[in-house]
Chain A
Amino acid sequence: MSSSNPLVVTASPHLSTPDSTPRIMWTVVASLGPVLAAASYFFGVSALLVVAAATLGALVTEFWFGKGRTLLDGSAMITGILLGLTLPAGLPIWMAFVGGAFAIGFGKLIFGGLGQNVFNPALLGRAFLQAAFPVALTTWPKPGGTWWELRGDNLALPLMSAGATDAITGATPLGLMKFEHAGTPVSDLFFGTTGGSLGETSALVILLCGTYLALKNYLNWRIPVSVFAAVAILAEMLHLLDAPRFPAPAFMLFSGGLVLGATYMATDMVTSPVTNLGSWIFGAGIGVLVVVIRIWGGLAEGVMYGILLMNAMVPFINRVTQPRVFGTGRVTGVR
């Protein structure tokens, strides 16, 4: 054998799944392409500006404070894009940038980077923005218009407010339901012709992309399924109780960020339980919190907080849902 090609000695197993962490991450990034395209179809260039700014904020922070090559694993990219998708189209892009930076800095790097964080960084960034700039974050431009038209004051100077804009804004379907008891046709929700954040408009596109990821086992299908099931069951029970007061399950499922949240945010591997039983509990918990916040809370939308709160529960869930080790507990066939 030639000396230029020495043998290597590694620990077993010597085979490994073709999936690698960067591959999973970048596949998720790619699967967000259609969602992004849909967002830009509805909200024009503003959608791309906002997402790009959030992503840039995330990447710059990861590069600056992170350790060298961690940009390549793609996780900061996902955080940035997902954060961007939860924002309204008319947001000043400096806010999106700040959100991305916060998401990575305080959501991820302080815990030691990839894999160590407790809260979904994108949602933490979103919650930060929501708390910091409540007005800007609840100004929802209506979809439509020409592609090049800005949907609000995207280009406001850093630290300055959006100022007076002439963009046509409208309430989200959930806002309409909560504050004016006005419904929105479910077909509009499904195809995306309603007001709302960039990524929450078209349930159809998100579900398709999510199914693709689930088939590749890049997301844990149990989580979205249990979220949807919990929301549907609870909503149906309430709807049967008092139909005029509580909206129908279909509306609850397809309005707001539920589809995006359940598919892309709740399934973030780092911040969801590692056990399958835990995943069911986690998803069901999110579903219940979403319904509780939407119906009895002061906010129209509860997906973000539902997921963040359950993120906080994850270490606890992991602890109590440890699998029963083979050959312990109730044992079959002992003689």
Chain B
Amino acid sequence: MTHGAVEPASMTHGAPVAPRARRPVAPREDLLRGVWKENPVLVQVLGMCPTLAVTNSVANSIAMGLATLFVLVGSCVLVSGIRRWVPDQVRIATFVLIIATFVTVADMTLEAVAPAIHKSLGAFVPLIVVNCIILARAEAFASRQSVGRSALDALGMGFGFILTLLLMGTIREILGSGTLLGRSLFGPSYEPWVIMVLPPGGFLTLGALLLVVGWWRQRKAGRAVPVNEPACAPTVGKVA
């Protein structure tokens, strides 16, 4: 399973590598990094598939976000915990095994606890396995850092992911259905923008969000900033 050819170099322009502990990093920084500065979706452009697929309502976004958070934290803690015993050759294989296990658990639990939401998320719960955020954090951070820091980092990234999903979900549900968490906002004669809950609406909303983020960063920097090139592909290059 280990693939030797595509080793470290690809990491440089992938997900930002956690800083080697030259100076002590405040726990707050570990936690908050993922929320905004290195937001997995808006900045690192990871985990696009669920961000687009399940955010047609706030409820779905929350469920997906929580499931991912669970898998992320669980996997990262475990990966960090066993990092000393796992030989390099089977590192990725064990990561995948761990993630798949957590996802299976999350999938079954969700189906038992909230069948309606499980049904509307459909295949996208098992697809958390291939969510690049999880592998990226496990590989880039958890496999090198202590359990505590990994947990904080995973929590931060998970929250960042949830926040983005929530943002998408809110925009799409309000425009697309005129409701928020199923409650009607504008009265019965509101004309829903059906497109927002359809696939094109997902692409367009996230595209527009990234556009705003790009515009905002450009304005803040006061000059051209490096384009946020997709980081997902190079990162997963390390995986197999």
Contact = CB atoms under 8 A, between A and B. Distances in A.
Interface of A: 92, 95, 106, 110, 128, 131-134, 136, 156, 159-163
Contacts of A131: 194-195, 198, 200-201
B189 A163 contact: yes
Given A132-B193, A134-B194, A160-B189, 20 more contacts: A92-B191, A95-B191, A106-B204, A110-B211, A131-B195, A131-B198, A131-B201, A132-B194, A132-B195, A133-B191, A133-B194, A136-B191, A156-B191, A159-B186, A159-B190, A159-B191, A161-B190, A161-B191, A162-B191, A163-B189
A203 to B, nearest CB: 30
Contacts of B168: none
Contacts of A110: 211
Interface string B55-79: 0000000000000000000000000
A133 B193 contact: yes
Interface of B: 186, 189-191, 193-196, 198, 200-201, 204, 211
A160 B194 contact: no
A110 B210 CA distance: 12
Contacts of A160: 186, 189-191
Contacts of B211: 110
A163 B189 CA distance: 7
A156 B191 CA distance: 10
30 contacts: A92-B191, A95-B191, A106-B204, A110-B211, A128-B195, A128-B200, A131-B194, A131-B195, A131-B200, A131-B201, A132-B193, A132-B194, A132-B195, A132-B196, A133-B191, A133-B193, A133-B194, A136-B191, A156-B191, A159-B190, A159-B191, A160-B186, A160-B189, A160-B190, A160-B191, A161-B189, A161-B190, A161-B191, A162-B191, A163-B189
A92 B196 CA distance: 19
Contacts of B200: 128, 131
Nearest to A160: B189
